[in-house]
Chains A and B, each alone.
Chain A
Amino acid sequence: MSPDLAIDARGLSKHFGDLKAVSALDLKVPRGQIYGFLGPNGSGKSTTIRMLCGLLTPTEGSATVLGTEVPGDSRHLKPKIGYMTQKFSLFGDMTVFENLQFIGEIYSVPKADRPARINDLLDRYNLVAQRDQLAGTMSGGQKQRLALACAVFHRPALLLLDEPTSAVDPQSRRDFWSNLFRLAGEGTTILVSSHYMDEAERCHRLAILDHGVKVADGTPQDLQDQTGMHIIEVVADDPYAAQAAIHDMPQVASVTQLGVRLRVLVPQHVDAPVSLIENVLGTAGIAAQVHTTHATLEDVFVAVTLPAQERSA
């Protein structure tokens, strides 16, 4: 495997009975990057992360994680990865300081280094005031910062974050991401799963999962350039009526209302989509402005998770 890759997964699959949680997933995560893992709930993000850190055995396929084969003896891998669970998994009946101390001990961080490291982390993740508070009594954002502090205590080369921002407010999310950039800048590879589009844009690269299948993979810019769709914005006085009219057009793959605006996805093989839509709206007697625009990641996400027949409409 290339030494530049922190994770190299080949045909990774996981079946739970008849349910194919993850199907033949290939994934290449370069070192030192923030790699986004996007997908709706139940698309196999958590399952993939759990396979990568050795918590679940793949049904098929394998992966090389930091030079260690998965599945295999994950004992040497554990000290090199940090893992932040989707659900808060630290001890609610211990204080912030006690939790950090426990993590330091369990990862065998040298005793002499621990006090300084704990103070450093408390400071860095803005937990100084909560030092002696029971972890279970903290807010969502504070719990999340503690979880991150614990995940990076032993300075892992790879950080696996399973929907770390799903339970926190927007301000905490912004702070959290600036922490992630700082870690990436220090050389940590980060794989982060999310279902927030604005977070996807911050990643160096991202993969989109749908029903256990990888449907897109690349930099945010590449993905936006390669949707295979015309992105058309419609501003109408009566967006609801306009949506109904456009929705019935056989050429249209998807219509989404955003306030007074509609975002319409039309497959690229359809010619002159703007005039097509203008005609339909004109016939229906709906006043509207129609123009093409650039794809956002939201559009990418909608486009790649469409059922196949609608994608080519």
Chain B
Amino acid sequence: MKPLSRIAAIVKKEVRQLRRDRLTFGMVVGLPVIQMLLFGYAINTDVRNLKTAVADQAETHLSRQLVAGLAQTQVVNIVERVASPEELEDRLRRGKISIGVVIPADFDRRVVDRSRSAVQLLVDGSDPTILGVANKLRSMPLAFDSTVRARPGVDIVEVRPYYNPERRTPVNIIPGLIGVILTMTMILFTAVAIVRERERGNLELLINTPVSSAELMIGKIVPYIVIGMLQLALILAVGRLLFDVPVRGSILDLYLCASAFVAANLSLGLLISTAAKTQFQAMQMMVFILLPSILLSGFMFPFDGMPVFAQYIGEALPNTHFIRLSRGIMLRDASIGELLPDLYYLIGFTLVAMTLAALRFTKRLD
């Protein structure tokens, strides 16, 4: 079987070169671990300890109770008390505080009256997350004195968080992070794979041998599929040990989906490789894939909340489909049978990208 033995020869060569390339080898292990630590610890959507100043012009028993109640939520951290709303505006502008609380002199009367709002929050709206948190403060039930006829607030809608009852961010982040890390490393490795050989002159030798385009492409992809699987194992292990992220569904299903995803990314990388003239160009093209894969895949923002146009772009990206698969299997204990469309998309993507790459890679120099 000549084609098989030629593919085996390419695979063997790639593994040999990879073993000697310490930088790439370090990336295989280092990149996932560093990203896990960065994203796992730094991205936190549970906002706490927002710096807050209070201008309490009422200075009543009730107003002090309100301030104490706010502080108890731990959402705000009261760092300063000032005399007037103007001073609050000044602190806001200088970035000293994110929220200013204005309690007017007639606060007690307003609480009972309810025709006008009793408290005003001055919020740094330049960060939408803070604005969102401040909006939630509005509905904060305050344990007021019984002398005041404020009805205890009972929300009409009760929220029950499924799958992540403790609302820990890493649980949501890590399944998506698997997709981001694999996108980054897999595309990176293969995007430079062919260009590097072109730059070093190896390609002129290779295209003069009987090896065919398809054999060369397959031979270059196989070693990285194995590496992708190793990276997945590493991410799952770190996720388990440091962030206690569960795999509720079948680990076999997860690996199956991941291998389809890895193949899709590798094919895409090869396609980039056939289009780029230098390794630097290949890197630049990779950024065009990587950024949408982080921003539009549902990894950072809920997919359904994105504009329709952005959703179309997102749907085209392999990462979007993989994140659905990984969150489904890891967090919701979904079986692969319930997620087939996303898996089919990844397989289809691989076939199309691979075919295009093999067609584009003509065994010629002109």
Chain A contact residues, CB within 8 Å of chain B: 50, 53-57, 74-75, 78-79, 81, 83, 85, 87-94, 98, 102-103, 105-108, 150
Residue of A nearest to B364 (CB): A55
Interface residues on B, range: 20 to 34
Q: Of B12, B200, B365, which one neighbours A55 at CB under 8 angstroms?
A: B365
The answer on a CB contact under 8 Å between A85 and B16 is no
Q: Of B5, B16, B366, which one neighbours A98 at CB under 8 angstroms?
A: B16
The answer on a CB contact under 8 Å between A83 and B208 is yes
Judge whether B86 is part of the interface by a CB distance below 8 angstroms: no
List 18 contacting pairs A-B, 8 Å CB cutoff, sorted by A: A53-B208, A54-B363, A55-B365, A56-B365, A78-B208, A78-B209, A85-B204, A89-B201, A89-B202, A89-B204, A94-B17, A102-B9, A103-B209, A105-B5, A105-B9, A106-B209, A108-B210, A150-B205
The answer on a CB contact under 8 Å between A93 and B17 is yes
The answer on a CB contact under 8 Å between A106 and B6 is yes
Known: A56-B366, A102-B9. A107 touches B210 (CB 8 A): yes
Known: A50-B365, A94-B16. A87 touches B5 (CB 8 A): no
Q: Which chain A positions have C-beta within 8 A of B16?
A: 93-94, 98
A85–B212 CA distance with the chains assembled, in angstroms: 19
A93–B196 CA distance with the chains assembled, in angstroms: 13
A120–B2 CA distance with the chains assembled, in angstroms: 24
The answer on a CB contact under 8 Å between B366 and A93 is no
The answer on a CB contact under 8 Å between B13 and A89 is no
Q: Which chain B positions have C-beta within 8 A of A91?
A: 13, 17, 202
A105–B364 CA distance with the chains assembled, in angstroms: 22
Q: Of A50, A75, A88, A98, which one neighbours B210 at CB under 8 angstroms?
A: A75
Judge whether B67 is part of the interface by a CB distance below 8 angstroms: no
The answer on a CB contact under 8 Å between A105 and B8 is yes
Q: Which chain A positions have C-beta within 8 A of B204?
A: 55, 85, 87, 89
Q: Which chain A positions have C-beta within 8 A of B200?
A: 89, 92
Judge whether B109 is part of the interface by a CB distance below 8 angstroms: no
10 pairs of A and B residues whose beta carbons are closest in the complex: A105-B9, A89-B205, A89-B201, A83-B208, A87-B201, A78-B210, A106-B209, A56-B366, A108-B2, A55-B365
Q: Which chain A positions have C-beta within 8 A of B208?
A: 53, 55, 78, 81, 83
Per-residue A-contact encoding for B1-35, CB less than 8 Å = 1, 0 else: 01001101110110011001100000000000000
Q: Of B9, B20, B363, which one neighbours A106 at CB under 8 angstroms?
A: B9
Judge whether B283 is part of the interface by a CB distance below 8 angstroms: no
Judge whether B211 is part of the interface by a CB distance below 8 angstroms: yes
Residue of A nearest to B19 (CB): A93
Q: Which chain A positions have C-beta within 8 A of B207?
A: 55
The answer on a CB contact under 8 Å between A90 and B202 is yes
- The A interface, classified by DSSP as helix, strand, loop or mixed, is loop
Q: Which chain A positions have C-beta within 8 A of B9?
A: 102, 105-106
Q: Which chain B positions have C-beta within 8 A of A55?
A: 204, 207-208, 364-366
Residue of A nearest to B209 (CB): A106
The answer on a CB contact under 8 Å between A105 and B12 is yes
A239–B205 CA distance with the chains assembled, in angstroms: 48
Q: Which chain A positions have C-beta within 8 A of B205?
A: 83, 85, 89-90, 150
Task: Give the shortest distance, in Å, between A54 (CB) and chain B (any CB).
Answer: 7
Given contacts A54-B363, A94-B17, A102-B12, 10 further A-B contacts (CB under 8 A): A55-B204, A55-B366, A78-B208, A79-B210, A90-B202, A93-B21, A102-B13, A106-B6, A106-B9, A106-B206
A94–B2 CA distance with the chains assembled, in angstroms: 23
Q: Which chain A positions have C-beta within 8 A of B209?
A: 78, 103, 106-107
A57–B362 CA distance with the chains assembled, in angstroms: 12
Scoring A74, A81, A150 by chain B CB atoms within 10 A of each residue's CB, the highest score goes to A74
In the complex, chain B residues 187-228 whose Cβ is within 8 Å of any chain A Cβ: 200-212
Residue of A nearest to B9 (CB): A105
A103–B202 CA distance with the chains assembled, in angstroms: 12
Known: A50-B365, A91-B13, A91-B17. A106 touches B202 (CB 8 A): no
Q: Of B5, B21, B201, B366, which one neighbours A85 at CB under 8 angstroms?
A: B201
Task: Give the shortest distance, in Å, between A158 (CB) and chain B (any CB).
Answer: 12
Q: Which chain B positions have C-beta within 8 A of A75?
A: 210, 212
The answer on a CB contact under 8 Å between A57 and B366 is yes
Residue of A nearest to B202 (CB): A89
A57–B365 CA distance with the chains assembled, in angstroms: 9
Task: Give the shortest distance, in Å, between A60 (CB) and chain B (any CB).
Answer: 14
Q: Which chain B positions have C-beta within 8 A of A50?
A: 365
A57–B363 CA distance with the chains assembled, in angstroms: 11
Residue of A nearest to B212 (CB): A75
A81–B207 CA distance with the chains assembled, in angstroms: 12
The answer on a CB contact under 8 Å between A56 and B364 is yes
A57–B21 CA distance with the chains assembled, in angstroms: 36
The answer on a CB contact under 8 Å between A105 and B366 is no
The answer on a CB contact under 8 Å between A106 and B211 is yes
Q: Which chain B positions have C-beta within 8 A of A106?
A: 6, 9-10, 206, 209-211
Q: Of B6, B20, B363, which one neighbours A93 at CB under 8 angstroms?
A: B20
The answer on a CB contact under 8 Å between A88 and B201 is yes
Q: Which chain B positions have C-beta within 8 A of A105?
A: 5-6, 8-9, 12
Residue of B nearest to A104 (CB): B9
Task: Give the shortest distance, in Å, between A179 (CB) and chain B (any CB).
Answer: 19
Residue of A nearest to B365 (CB): A55
Q: Which chain A positions have C-beta within 8 A of B212?
A: 75
Q: Which chain A positions have C-beta within 8 A of B6?
A: 105-106, 108
Task: Give the shortest distance, in Å, between A78 (CB) and chain B (any CB).
Answer: 5
Q: Which chain A positions have C-beta within 8 A of B203?
A: 89
Residue of B nearest to A59 (CB): B366
Residue of B nearest to A58 (CB): B366
Residue of B nearest to A91 (CB): B202
A56–B201 CA distance with the chains assembled, in angstroms: 16
A50–B203 CA distance with the chains assembled, in angstroms: 13
A57–B201 CA distance with the chains assembled, in angstroms: 19
Q: Which chain B positions have C-beta within 8 A of A92?
A: 200
A12–B134 CA distance with the chains assembled, in angstroms: 77
In the complex, chain B residues 215-252 whose Cβ is within 8 Å of any chain A Cβ: none
A30–B208 CA distance with the chains assembled, in angstroms: 22
Task: Give the shortest distance, in Å, between B32 (CB) and chain A (any CB).
Answer: 24
